[in-house]
Amino acid sequence: MGNREKKVAVVVGEAQKKEEAFAEALLAKSISVELVVEKDCSLRVGVPITVTEITAEEELAATFRKIFDRYGRIDYLINCMDFYLEKPLIDTEEEEWDELIMRNLTAVFLSCKSALPYLVPGGRIINVTSDAARLGARKASAYAAAKAGVVTFSKSLARESVSRGIAVNVLSVGLMEDEERALGWESGVDSIPLGRTGKWEEAAAFLASLLEAPKYVTGQTFHINGGLYMP
């Protein structure tokens, strides 16, 4: 049984650099971190890892129940799902479209639905998405559509969650250091005013600070992109 006075964050996604960076930033704030992924993995940071099917509602709900039973609380939920397929629309099969929507959007819905019964009043949900939601993505229309769906879903959830005292926001990232894809943003790095790709440590530092924002900050999308997209 964990320290029930210590705040707890559940990070749902993959075992990639972004999850490591987010976990490190949260640990630095003395927040307990639980990583929920689909495949067993090992990370540089020492955090508990739970393997579950993130697109299966019953499994995911059971996972959050177990995490709550272990710690006695869940304060923060960070959804980092990111499943990508580069393919022209005319060549995209319906099954591929369905999978992209399921893994990028439906999984976020299921995670939020599963976590809400256990989030403490004053809790925070941050859904991580891509600037493809705003800019579009050549040869990745389903991906961009799913990411845009996360933004609108999060705004709607923010309105619903006010009565629970829970703030919901979106962290939207541009072209990051470990991404080979350019999402059809024609000149890649050359199109970024700052002149380089982003570092996940930068996104993680902002994410950690957003968890401490007043609860009046809700339903917002924050862009980490070096100036690639300016609302």
> Active-site residues: which are they?
143
DSSP secondary-structure letter at 183? T
Structure tokens at 155: 């705004």
Is the CB of residue 38 less than 8 Å from the CB of residue 87?
Answer: no
Rounded distance between C-alpha atoms, residue 102 and residue 81, angstroms: 10
Is the CB of residue 12 less than 8 Å from the CB of residue 77?
Answer: yes
How wide is the angle at C-alpha 137 spanned by C-alphas 56 and 82, nearest 5°? Answer: 25
Rounded distance between C-alpha atoms, residue 186 and residue 195, angstroms: 14
Rounded distance between C-alpha atoms, residue 183 and residue 196, angstroms: 15
Rounded distance between C-alpha atoms, residue 149 and residue 129, angstroms: 10
DSSP secondary-structure letter at 37? E
